[in-house]
Amino acid sequence: MAEVTLIKAINDALATEMARDPSVFVLGEDVGCCGGVFRATEGLSRRFGPERVIDTPLNEVGIVGMAIGMAMSGLRPVAEIEFSDFIYPAFDQIVSEMAKMRYRSAGQFTAAVVLRAPSGGGIRGGHYHSQSPEAYYIHTAGLVVVMPSTPADAKGLLSSAIRGEDPVIFLEPKLLYRTVKGEVPEGEYLVPLGKGRIVRPGSDVTLIAWGGMVPVAEKTGAVAAKEGVDVEIIDPRTLWPLDIAMIEASVNRTGRAVVLHEAPRTCGFGAEISALIQERCFLHLKAPVARVTGFDTPFPYALEKSYLPDPERTLRAIHASMDF
């Protein structure tokens, strides 16, 4: 076990999978000699060569299109988009081709592409570098959507995604790239897709958070505990397919649920989780499901701290749920 940052864990997963399987390729803008905009691919080009770590033009639709073709030819491409905000020129390739290849070919082909993209706030990048687009991809049938919050999960989930047979949108919370450290197993390490994680057990209220909001949830849970409120924190890890069984079991026990995410409130993934809880846990609920989210505005440059949910806002939602 070594204690590393989340970005180092991602680099380790890529290196481990490339060494294990010669069909694994990395491609994207500046992923070679520069090691990517956040240095997630640093050192891979020197180790595996430019034939397997491919610097591409500044062309997202070309990156994703090439990755789909590589996957259909039996390779295992891991494509990097510098920021999730830059992915939209390739949206048609993702939605109409990557997600639907197995269906449209009647099972003859699949596009087992892993599409990595830094997501969310944390660098004061404003609306071109800070969006949280997970709901778009969860809404698209055929895609697996992943967002880790710890170094160990980052490595294990990325390795599982690379080995899988489905197209994966792998969103990386850049807020946590270098701000969190944790012990990560060396060598091959897998975390199963579709399984959530209980971050903190509790009995009074269930708090569901992912990505950069998990540390916010942990801070909230610590403050609430001092006030006598026992908060159970769940990190889905794989946003789709969602481990709804874990959430259902928790909410049926606590009777209360708060969903925390940094994407805008309207049609955010928290709305879907709230609906699932209402459908499955209605008779056990002691209070309405609450959401703590970003605002329905473009992501602001100067007001990032005000935009992102924090422990104070989250604690208010927990108090309201407990007082209902």
What are the angstrom distances between the C-alpha of 198 and each of 72, 250, 279?
Answer: 36, 9, 22
Interatomic CA distance for residues 213 and 191, integer angstroms: 20
Amino acid (one-letter) located at 310? D
Structure tokens at 119: 């997501």
Beta-carbon contacts of residue 91 (< 8 Å; ≥ 6 apart): 136
Catalytic, 284? Answer no
* CA 85 centroid distance within chain: 14
Q: 244-254 and 269-281 helices cross at what angle (nearest 10)?
A: 60
Strands 114-119 and 168-173: parallel
Report the run of H or E that residue 46 belongs to, with start and end: helix 44-48
Given the residues 127, 129, 139, 261, the one annotated as active site: 129
Residue numbers annotated as active site: 129
